[in-house]
């Protein structure tokens, strides 16, 4: 049995993939799904969703948007997006809808709550959730969507806010081949890679493995930068050497956590924007659940989870996750 089906079989909450095999029959015709004339819905316009929605607008997709934060819809409204007052109001006007929300509970609320998407979703709609959430919740949403004659796929992203801004995200898609093919045009307008991972939930499985590795490498990069600086090395020189040596990784090269090493990354902007520490702690929790269910040892993932949980409860929750570097410099840890 594969690791993922193992996860599915043991998780209890997971629905059977076979129930989803009928999914392709419920999606609208491919021509209306690929059209740039009809409105596309977008819910969740935070650090990532705002850029993603803007890229859809730039590529000529008319949008109807919703977010609980009035500030986050303002700029997109000025740029031509229509604003709705509830998720239901979005769903009633579209046959394609993207959600980009913080965590599983927000996705459940937006889809199944009062005035949620499922209260007004049109038959044949394609619902694309790009949030990083528990794979079992994606599967639960897919089953509920099927009951409404719609199709739900998971399409979490990797790449960070700059990749979202530049349309360079990687989408990891879980859903039927038909749904994947229909989502591809829309997703390609926001990213450079759109990868079909398998049935619903497998996009999330790929995403949580990636983020567990990212968290471990970010903490490792922060430790190496902090130690090197204390040993008297100039930060930019140290980063340059790491990036031409075997310690090189995305965290050292593209998203260095030490302020001043790179321009245009959160570490050089007091760790504002970017990918919040609380969100990273959430993803590491998802990876730990999956490790437990599949009996996969992940000791470094577990340690990274604890470090990000402590940071979350120590004033770093809303700072970018590269603030692990700043956390290590905390006086309390350096006495």
Catalytically annotated residues: 207
Binder of ligand NAD out of 49, 175, 201, 257 (CB under 6 A): 49
Among positions 77-106, residues that touch ligand NAD (CB under 6 A) are 100-102, 106
Q: Does 67 sit near ligand NAD (CB under 6 A)? A: yes
CA distance 205 to 155: 11
Binder of ligand NAD out of 132, 251, 312, 322 (CB under 6 A): 132
**Number of Cβ within a 10 Å radius of residue 160:** 24
SS3 call for 276: strand
Give the strand pairing for 169-174 and 157-158: antiparallel
- In the complex with ligand NAD, the residue whose CB is nearer, 106 or 319, is 106
Q: Which stretch binds ligand NAD (CB under 6 A): 64-72, 77-85, 191-199, 297-305?
A: 64-72
- In the complex with ligand NAD, the residue whose CB is nearer, 66 or 118, is 66
CA distances to 165, 185, 298 from 123, rounded to whole Å, are 32, 21, 42
Among positions 233-292, residues that touch ligand NAD (CB under 6 A) are 274-275, 279, 283
- In the complex with ligand NAD, the residue whose CB is nearer, 130 or 252, is 130
- In the complex with ligand NAD, the residue whose CB is nearer, 191 or 198, is 191
Q: How far is CA 103 from the centre of its chain?
A: 9
Cβ(158)–Cβ(207) below 8 Å: yes
CA angle 185, 188, 193 (to 5 degrees): 135
Total residues at interface with ligand NAD (CB under 6 A): 28
Smallest separation, CB 331 to ligand NAD (Å)? 28
Smallest separation, CB 326 to ligand NAD (Å)? 17
- In the complex with ligand NAD, the residue whose CB is nearer, 28 or 222, is 222
119: Cβ contacts below 8 Å, ≥ 6 apart: 88, 91
Sign of CA dihedral 30, 35, 39, 45: positive
Q: How far is CA 83 from the centre of its chain?
A: 23
Smallest separation, CB 4 to ligand NAD (Å)? 20
Smallest separation, CB 320 to ligand NAD (Å)? 8
Beta bridge mates, 276: 320
CA distances to 47, 162, 266, 268 from 275, rounded to whole Å, are 8, 11, 9, 14
Binder of ligand NAD out of 72, 217, 277, 322 (CB under 6 A): 72
The DSSP secondary structure of 61-90, one letter per residue, reads: --EEEE-S-HHHHHHHHHTT-EE-SSHHHH
Smallest separation, CB 256 to ligand NAD (Å)? 15
Q: Which stretch binds ligand NAD (CB under 6 A): 15-23, 152-160, 177-185, 194-202?
A: 152-160
- The residue of the chain with the least Cβ separation from ligand NAD equals 46
- In the complex with ligand NAD, the residue whose CB is nearer, 50 or 189, is 50
Q: Does 161 sit near ligand NAD (CB under 6 A)? A: yes
Tokens of 110: 């937006």
Cβ(267)–Cβ(258) below 8 Å: yes
Place of tokens 């902090």: 226
The HSE-up count of residue 18 (CA atoms within 13 Å, CB side) is: 1
Q: Does 155 sit near ligand NAD (CB under 6 A)? A: no
- In the complex with ligand NAD, the residue whose CB is nearer, 131 or 256, is 131
CA distance 4 to 281: 22
Q: Which stretch binds ligand NAD (CB under 6 A): 47-55, 218-226, 235-243, 250-258?
A: 47-55
Q: Does 138 sit near ligand NAD (CB under 6 A)? A: no
Binding site for ligand NAD (CB under 6 A): 43-49, 66-69, 72, 100-102, 106, 109-110, 131-132, 157-158, 160-161, 274-275, 279, 283
């Amino acid at each position: 049995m594969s690791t993922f089906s193992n996860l599915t079989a043991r998780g209890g909450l997971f629905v059977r993939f076979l129930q989803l095999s009928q999914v392709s029959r419920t999606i609208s015709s491919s021509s209306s799904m690929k059209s740039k004339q009809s409105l596309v819905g977008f819910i969740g316009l935070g650090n990532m969703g705002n850029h993603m929605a803007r890229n859809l607008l730039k590529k000529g997709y008319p949008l109807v948007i919703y977010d609980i934060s009035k500030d986050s819809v303002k700029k997109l409204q000025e740029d031509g997006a229509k604003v709705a007052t509830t998720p239901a109001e979005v769903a009633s006007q579209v046959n394609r809808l993207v959600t980009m929300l913080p965590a599983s509970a927000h996705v459940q609320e937006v889809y199944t709550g009062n005035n949620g998407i499922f209260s007004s979703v049109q038959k044949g709609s394609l619902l694309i959730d790009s949030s990083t959430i528990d794979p079992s919740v994606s599967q639960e949403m897919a089953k509920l969507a099927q009951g409404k004659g719609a199709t739900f796929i998971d399409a979490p992203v990797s790449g960070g806010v700059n990749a979202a801004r530049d349309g360079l995200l990687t989408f990891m898609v879980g859903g039927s081949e038909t749904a994947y093919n229909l989502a591809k045009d829309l997703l390609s307008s926001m990213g450079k890679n759109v990868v079909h991972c398998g049935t619903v939930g497998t996009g999330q499985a790929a995403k949580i493995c990636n983020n567990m590795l990212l968290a471990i490498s970010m903490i490792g990069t922060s430790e190496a930068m902090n130690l090197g600086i204390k040993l008297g090395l100039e930060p930019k020189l140290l980063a340059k050497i790491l990036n031409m040596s075997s310690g090189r990784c995305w965290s050292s090269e593209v998203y260095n956590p030490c302020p001043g090493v790179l321009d245009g990354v959160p570490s050089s902007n007091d760790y504002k924007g970017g990918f919040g520490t609380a969100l990273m702690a959430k993803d590491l929790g998802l990876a730990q659940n999956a490790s437990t269910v599949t009996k996969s040892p992940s000791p470094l993932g577990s340690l990274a989870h604890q470090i990000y949980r402590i940071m979350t409860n120590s004033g770093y929750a809303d700072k970018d996750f590269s603030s692990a570097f700043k956390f290590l410099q905390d006086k309390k840890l350096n006495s």
